[in-house]
């Protein structure tokens, strides 16, 4: 029988052929994106020691104790993504964008004899998965076909070998298509991860508050990649007038289409705890985000199609064929603890300066609820390192106006071990706040980020399908709040 190919099983059984993609998934579902709220974004997300509006449910729930009035807050954001990918000296650019709800929440202060007691509830979109890449170049070192083959030992019935199913190998698994092919691909990712937060804060001492957010996560992730490998230089040609069997069809290889589709539903929970000390001109915040457990339910579809030289003679049948396979998979990603400290100070009456430091040991990330993946936890964790992120921000209240202007900077190191500093994500931000009416505040912010990365399109032979990527991101956020 001609054989099917299943992406996940190949990854698990055959030594991590696409394991880099899975390690990327672990980070994707564990990250916290660009934060919540336009004011925070305008200040470089240096907000642990500020947190005096609804967005404290995300940044530092202890900050809710500062609020004395009911608040309704909502916002939208737009994410832009541009990727310059270089593949064997050939450069391609890909772009994408996404607009979505940033937050919608309510804050309820309760009257107390002394101190403060505040509750809040709402939705925060914490991560956006919009990204894209494409490449097109001549590969003189390898072919994707070899990387998709399976062994008789691991796959005795040949169910997961798509090159065999599409006559790109012989019945014994041999193929002459090893290198010197043109390769092109387009990849697109979309979706987001949000959290429903149930938060509360209370003064435990004069000027010291404690807060907790119980977070329920939900979201989606979609992945599409279309891959084309072709014999553009007519190197794989065999006497077209001589009839050969379909088992030797690789001799007349022309094109191979390999497309992958993935849709995932995400769910999970965690707790964020915070402390805040407040004085008339200075605030200090501490936060701890407990490990997040994200349950991932995936549906895969993988398709392969072969095309051979036209006008060729065949002794049995034309071997051109296509095959597809769909399957489901489930697993959990457990992220590490995240600890942060942040402070804010009014250096003069109109100028607020803020700074945050956030630490996480990504080497503690792990798979769960999937035995085959759990066996790879040691290998997964060996790819990562501990990181310390830095965020700086400022806000200036323009005298005699209802306008505040903001600026900020953040540095988020790459979690991958041995990555150079050019792989760290830097972001520059700016924003403005306008008091439209006595109770209505409009905040807007924009951020521009950049980092470098690379991706192996397949891992065998190693480092022969690498694209070097230079990524630029943009984020625009508008938030409106009304206080009663």
Q: Is the peptide bond before 19 cis (omega within 30 degrees of 0)?
A: no
Q: How far apart, in Å, are the Cα atoms of 330 and each of 11, 263, 299?
A: 14, 12, 9
**Per-residue model confidence (pLDDT) at position 368:** 93
- Name all domains of the chain by residue range, CATH numbers in brackets: 7-483 (2.40.160.60)
Q: CB atoms < 10 A from the CB of 274, how many?
A: 28
What b-and-e string marks burial along 379-394, b requiring 16 or more CB atoms within 10 Å of the CB? ebbebbbebebebbbb
Three-class SS state of 252? helix
Q: CB atoms < 10 A from the CB of 34, how many?
A: 25
Phi then psi dihedrals of residue 416, to 5 deg:
-85, 135
Cα 247–Cα 161–Cα 302 angle in degrees, nearest 5? 120
Say if CB 128 and CB 447 are below 8 A apart.
no
**Per-residue model confidence (pLDDT) at position 231:** 95
**Per-residue model confidence (pLDDT) at position 316:** 82
Residues 6+ apart with CB under 8 A from 472: 81, 82, 83, 448, 449, 450
The DSSP element (H or E) to which 13 belongs, if any, is: helix 7-13
10-residue mean pLDDT series, the chain (484 residues): 33 37 81 89 98 97 96 97 97 96 97 90 96 97 90 72 89 90 97 97 95 97 97 87 85 94 96 96 96 94 90 79 88 96 96 98 94 91 96 97 97 94 96 95 98 90 92 98 94
Give the closest residue to 469 by CA, choosing from 226, 139, 187, 257: 187
| Token pair 């997961």 in the structure block, residue | 160
**Per-residue model confidence (pLDDT) at position 423:** 96
Q: How far apart, in Å, are the Cα atoms of 396 and each of 101, 403, 434?
A: 27, 9, 12
Residues 6+ apart with CB under 8 A from 187: 94, 131, 132, 133, 134, 223, 224, 225
Residue 185 CA to residue 131 CA, distance in Å, equals 14
pLDDT in tens, 234-282: 998 887 778 888 888 889 999 999 999 999 999 999 999 999 999 989 9
Residue 435 CA to residue 483 CA, distance in Å, equals 11
Residue 334 CA to residue 79 CA, distance in Å, equals 26
What b-and-e string marks burial along 46-65, b requiring 16 or more CB atoms within 10 Å of the CB? bbbbbbbbbbbbbbbbbbbb
């Amino acid at each position: 029988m001609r054989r099917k190919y299943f992406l996940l099983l190949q990854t698990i059984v055959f030594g991590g052929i696409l394991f880099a993609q899975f390690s990327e998934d672990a980070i994707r579902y564990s990250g916290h994106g660009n934060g919540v709220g336009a004011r925070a974004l305008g200040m470089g997300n240096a907000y642990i020691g500020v947190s005096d509006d609804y967005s404290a449910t995300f940044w530092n729930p202890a900050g809710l104790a500062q609020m004395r009035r009911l608040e309704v807050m909502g916002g939208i954001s737009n994410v832009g993504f541009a990727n310059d990918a270089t593949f064997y000296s050939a450069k391609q650019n890909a772009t994408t964008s996404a607009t979505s709800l940033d937050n919608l929440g309510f804050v309820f202060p309760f009257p107390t004899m002394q101190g403060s007691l505040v509750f809040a509830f709402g939705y925060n979109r914490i991560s956006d998965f919009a990204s894209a890449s494409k490449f097109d170049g001549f590969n003189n070192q390898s072919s994707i076909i070899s990387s998709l083959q399976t062994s008789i030992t691991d796959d005795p019935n040949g169910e997961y070998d798509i090159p065999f199913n599409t006559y790109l190998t012989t019945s014994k698994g041999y193929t002459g298509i090893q290198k010197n092919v043109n390769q092109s691909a387009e990849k697109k990712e979309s979706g987001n991860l949000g959290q429903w937060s149930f938060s509360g804060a209370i003064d435990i001492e004069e000027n010291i508050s404690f807060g907790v957010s119980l977070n329920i996560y939900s979201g989606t992730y979609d992945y599409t990649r279309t891959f084309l490998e072709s014999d553009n230089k007519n190197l794989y040609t065999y006497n077209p007038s001589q009839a050969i069997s379909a088992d030797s069809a690789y001799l007349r290889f022309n094109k191979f289409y390999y497309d992958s589709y993935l849709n995932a539903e995400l769910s999970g929970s965690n707790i964020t705890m915070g402390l805040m000390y407040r004085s008339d001109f200075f605030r200090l915040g501490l936060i701890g985000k407990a490990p997040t457990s994200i349950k991932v339910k995936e549906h895969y579809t993988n398709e392969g199609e072969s095309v051979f030289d036209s006008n060729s003679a065949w002794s049995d049948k034309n071997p051109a064929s296509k095959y597809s396979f769909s399957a489901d998979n489930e697993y959990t990603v457990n992220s590490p603890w995240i600890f942060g400290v942040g402070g804010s100070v009014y250096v003069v009456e109109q100028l607020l300066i803020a700074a945050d430091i956030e630490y996480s040991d990504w080497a503690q990330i792990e798979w769960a609820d999937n035995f085959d993946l759990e066996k790879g936890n040691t290998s997964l964790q060996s790819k990562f390192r501990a990181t310390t992120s830095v965020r700086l921000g400022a806000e200036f209240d323009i005298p005699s106006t209802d306008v505040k202007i903001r600026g900020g900077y953040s540095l988020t190191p790459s979690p991958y071990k041995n990555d150079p500093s050019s792989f760290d994500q830097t972001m520059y931000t700016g924003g403005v706040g306008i008091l439209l009416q006595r109770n209505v505040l409009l905040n807007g912010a924009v951020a521009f980020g950049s980092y470098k990365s690379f991706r192996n399109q397949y891992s065998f032979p190693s480092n022969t399908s690498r694209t070097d990527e230079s990524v630029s991101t943009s984020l625009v956020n508008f938030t409106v709040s009304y206080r009663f």
